[in-house]
Amino acid sequence: MARNRPRSPRRYRGWALILACLLLAFAVWVLSRMRPQDLPWTAIDLSAPVGAFTGRKLAALGDDPQHCRLLLGEAGIEHEDMPVIDPGGECRVENALRPDGGARTILFRPRSPAITCPVAAGLALWEWHVVQPAAQRIFGQRVEEIDHLGSYNCRRIAGGEDRPWSEHASANALDIGGFRLADGTRIDVRRDWAGDGRKAQFLRAARDGACDLFATVLSPDYNAAHADHFHFDQSRRGVLGWRSCR
C-alpha cells in the first residue's frame, strides 16, 4: 500500500503568503472605507479630518489650480481670483487667490492675503482642526481674526543673492503674527511665545498642528528672524513627504 507523501514546506509557505496578501488587501479596503485620508492614493477631501497623507495631498494641489479651487468651493471657502503678478524675472505668479471669508473661515487682518490655492486650503484645515479646537480648549472661546505679516514678496531666502528663491516669491507662503479672540484678547507671537502660560500653550498648539498641513513651518524656535511670526509654506518638496517643522 502506497504511503501518502508529506506535503512540501514550500507549498505551506505559498499558501501562507497568499493568505497574508488577502488579509493585507482586506485591511487596506477597510482602511480606505474608514479613513481614506490616511492612504496616499485617495483623493483629498477638505471636509475630512486631517490624516497621515493630508499634508502631501495639499502640496500636490499646486499641480492643478483649477481642481484646487473646486475643492475650496465644495468646502464652503469663498475666494477672489487675483490678476497675474508679474514684476519680471523669477517672481511671476499666475494662480494667486484671496480668501474671502465664507461660512466656514475667519477673517485676516489687515486684509486677506494673495496666496496660492494649496496655502489657502491648508489654512482652512488649520483653522478648523487646529486653531479653533485649541482656542476652545484653552480659552473657552473661538478665534475671530488672524493677524498676518504678508505673503507675496519677490525675494530670495534670507535676502541673499546666492540663495534659492523664497516660497514668498511665488505667493506660496504666509507669515502669521498673531490671533484675536472673540472677547478681543490678542495673542502675539513675539510677546507670548515664551513661557508656559495659556497664550504660549495656544501658540505652540497652533504651530505643532500646522506641521501636519504645510511643507514648511518655522516659528521663533527656528531663529531670530522668525521671533515675531510663524512661516507656513507649501513647497513642492512636501509632495514627496519632505517636511520642516521647527
pLDDT in tens, 178-203: 999 999 999 999 999 999 999 999 99
Say what the pTM is.
0.86
Residue range(s) defining the domain that contains residue 28:
12-42
Residues 37 and 75 grouped into a single domain: no
32 shares a domain with 82: no
103 and 211 together in one domain? yes
Same-domain status, 27 and 112: no
Please indicate, yes or no, if residue 48 is contained in any of the structural domains: no
Parallel, antiparallel or unpaired: strands 216-218 and 230-233: antiparallel
Examine the domain organization and report whether 97 and 206 are in the same domain.
yes
**pLDDT value for 214:** 97
> Do the Cβ atoms of 119 and 173 come closer than 8 Å?
yes
The reply to whether 1 falls in a domain is no
Looking at the domain assignment, is residue 2 inside a domain? no
- 140 pLDDT band, cuts 50/70/90, is very high
Identify whether 173 is part of a domain: yes
* 72 and 22 together in one domain: no
* 5 domain-assigned: no
Distance CA 190, CA 210 (A): 18
24 and 100 in a single domain? The answer is: no
Residue 151 to residue 233: CA distance in whole angstroms: 10
Residues 27 and 92 in one domain: no
Shared-domain flag, residues 38 and 135: no
Residues 152 and 216 both lie in one domain: yes
Number of domains in the chain: 2
d(CA 57, CA 66): 15
pLDDT at position 21, please?
A: 85
What local confidence, expressed as pLDDT, does residue 172 receive? 97
- Same domain as 33, residue 117: no
* pLDDT digits 0-9 by tens, 7-55: 556 666 777 788 888 888 777 676 666 688 888 889 999 999 999 999 9
Q: Is residue 153 part of a domain?
A: yes
7 lies in a domain?
no
CA of 156: how far to CAs of 87, 162, 172, 202, in Å?
A: 14, 8, 13, 31
Report if residue 3 sits inside a domain: no
The answer on 37 and 153 residing in a single domain is no
